[in-house]
Amino acid sequence: MGTRLAEITKTNKIKLQEERKELLKDIAALQERLHTEVDVDEEEGDPELHERDKAVTLLRAMEKRLDSIDAALESIKRGTYGICERCGKPIDPARLEVFPEARLCLKCQEEIERSPSSIRYRI
């Protein structure tokens, strides 16, 4: 592991752990809000239902982000952080600085995004 990658890994581990902690708090707060019962008005387009749908969509996005953070932290623990999961080549350290939970190199990410059949690696 190069010196630059080692430094980025150390920095990103701390950053990811902090983001994870904050995200867990936000998820818990949103889940609590969603557990409150909604009085359904028979009118079409009830704003409470619309807000609840938005909250559910946000919760899903937050949970997906949490999964990405957990995968990055696990790869740090295994010693595979910074290695593309698809091609096995190193991920550019500049990419990891900008996007700490990147699991694919830029080339593989671009190939995946051009291929609509493979949504699995959309990170």
* Predicted TM-score (pTM) above 0.75: yes
Amino acid 48: pLDDT: 75
Average pLDDT of the residues of the chain: 88
Fold of 3-35+46-114: Four Helix Bundle (Hemerythrin (Met), subunit A) (1.20.120)
Which H or E element spans position 114?
helix 106-114
- Contacts of 11 by beta carbon, 8 Å cutoff, 6+ apart: none
Q: Count Cβ atoms below 10 Å from residue 87 Cβ, excluding itself.
A: 13
pLDDT of residue 98: 95
pLDDT digits (tens, 9 = 90+) for 27-80: 999 999 888 755 555 555 567 778 888 999 999 999 999 999 999 999 999 999
Nearest to 84 by CA among 121, 119, 114, 113: 121
Instruction: Enter the tokens of residue 33.
Output: 């809000």
Q: What is the pLDDT of residue 45?
A: 58
